Amino acid sequence: MTSSPRRPTLDEIHASRQRIAPFVRRTPLVELDLGLPDRRIYLKLETLQPIGAFKIRPALNAVLSRDPATLRHGVATVSSGNMAYGMAWAARAAGIPMAAYMYADAPQTKIDGVRNLGGEVRFVPEETWWNYIVGTEQPDAAELLINPVTDQAVLAGNGTIGLEIVEDLPEVDLVLTPYGGGSMTTGVASAVKALRPQARVLAVEAEHATPVTAALAAGRPVDTDVRPSFIKSIGGPSVVPALWPLAQASIDGASVVSLAQVVDAVRLLFTKAKIVAEGAGAASLAAAIHDSRAKGNVVCVISGGNIDANVYAQILNGIVPT
């Protein structure tokens, strides 16, 4: 079983930033002026990282913080795409082999990204993939397996995003983060609330799968229905039980957006700011526009821009991809 993580401290997050600084970009926080009278919307552009997504931060921290002896056979992770991509980048930087357990209909751009960096892609059924994440099954891997959700170094690496947000916008009122496994939301919230306790953090999910909303309503992790969607990086059959107590204590609620609202947000990012974002990355902007709780200084973490070209073309034409 996967062990329960703890909240990363500010000292751990600062150490993570120093560790990964030679390799990652300190991404800008830019205002998106939509003429809304009750809120100012800012975009944390993790799309500008070397792999086009925030996952390079936790992947690098997880690799670089390990005793090299534990990495002698390489590193492996479980991912729908961006964590695999980030881990492949980190492994290449460290000069070690890398493998990713992915499911077959993961975005092709992310599969190609792993392979182009020298990583090995091992396809497993989606149910097996989920069991690896929650820790009810373990792959037979010679490499060191780093859990993309519950690994302590992953949480601290994600916390560096929150650190930068508060440094760049000390009076931040609300941070909106797409919620997949929950490690990014939890890491960001850990830093933001340590530095600005009055700021709120909302977990953003889309209507095709709402495990956070369901868990908050039930007071515990519960299974939810998952409908097929072009959004691949958020929305699972449940929250990850080992992370949930910490995640629940870190957030101030969940915000659910529709697929049509996400499509509109992807298009808006392109037309208004010339930013390419995948569905999960644009979900936070959709929430900033449509959630009545979004007031004051609102930061949207635009988590990634690795979207398949055919899906992106449909979105730009106003189509909700199937």
pLDDT digits (tens, 9 = 90+) for 287-308: 999 999 999 999 999 999 999 9
Kindly give the interhelix angle for 152-168 and 183-195, rounded to the nearest 10 degrees: 50
- Has residue 17 been placed in a domain? yes
Helices first, then strands: H and E counts in the chain: 12, 10
pTM: predicted TM-score of the whole model, two decimal places: 0.95
pLDDT digits (tens, 9 = 90+) for 18-42: 999 999 999 999 999 999 999 999 9
Compute the distance between CA of residue 258 and CA of residue 301 in angstroms, rounded to an integer: 18
User: Tell me, what's the pLDDT at 236?
Assistant: 87
User: Tell me, what's the pLDDT at 104?
Assistant: 84
Please report where in the chains the tokens 């039980």 appear, as a residue.
Answer: 241
Domain boundary among 117, 146, 175: 146
Q: Is-contact 240 229, C-beta < 8 A?
A: no
Please report where in the chains the tokens 């695999």 appear, as a residue.
Answer: 84
- Say yes or no: 128 and 243 in one domain: no
User: Tell me, what's the pLDDT at 2?
Assistant: 54
- Say yes or no: 234 and 195 in one domain: yes
User: Tell me, what's the pLDDT at 1?
Assistant: 46
Strand 120-123 and strand 174-178: the pairing is: unpaired
Compute the distance between CA of residue 201 and CA of residue 159 in angstroms, rounded to an integer: 13
Strand 296-302 and strand 174-178: the pairing is: parallel
Please report where in the chains the tokens 């992770």 appear, as a residue.
Answer: 77
Strand 296-302 and strand 39-45: the pairing is: parallel
Residue 130, phi then psi, degrees to nearest 5 = -65, -40
- Residue-by-residue pLDDT tens, the chain, 322 positions: 456 899 999 999 999 999 999 999 999 999 999 999 999 999 999 999 999 999 999 999 999 999 999 999 999 999 988 899 999 999 999 999 999 999 888 888 889 999 999 999 999 998 999 999 998 999 988 999 999 999 999 999 999 999 999 999 999 999 999 999 999 999 999 999 999 999 999 999 999 999 999 999 999 999 999 999 999 889 889 999 999 999 999 999 999 999 999 999 999 999 999 999 999 999 999 999 999 999 999 999 999 999 999 999 999 999 999 8
Compute the distance between CA of residue 322 and CA of residue 312 in angstroms, rounded to an integer: 12
- Say yes or no: 285 and 140 in one domain: no
Q: Is-contact 295 284, C-beta < 8 A?
A: no
- Say yes or no: 235 and 280 in one domain: yes
pLDDT digits (tens, 9 = 90+) for 37-74: 999 999 999 999 999 999 999 999 999 999 999 999 99
User: Tell me, what's the pLDDT at 232?
Assistant: 85
| Partner residues linked to 201 by β-bridges | 175
Which residue from 305, 144, 313 is spatially nearest to 233, judged by alpha carbons? 305
Residue 157 belongs to what domain range? Answer: 10-53+152-316
Q: Is-contact 77 119, C-beta < 8 A?
A: no
Q: Is-contact 182 211, C-beta < 8 A?
A: no
Q: Is-contact 200 173, C-beta < 8 A?
A: yes
- Say yes or no: 111 and 78 in one domain: yes
User: Tell me, what's the pLDDT at 85?
Assistant: 93
Q: How many domains does the chain have?
A: 2
- Say yes or no: 158 and 31 in one domain: yes
User: Tell me, what's the pLDDT at 107?
Assistant: 85
- Say yes or no: 164 and 242 in one domain: yes
- Say yes or no: 172 and 275 in one domain: yes
Contacts of 235 (CB under 8 A, 6+ apart): 180, 205, 206, 208, 209, 210, 211, 226, 229
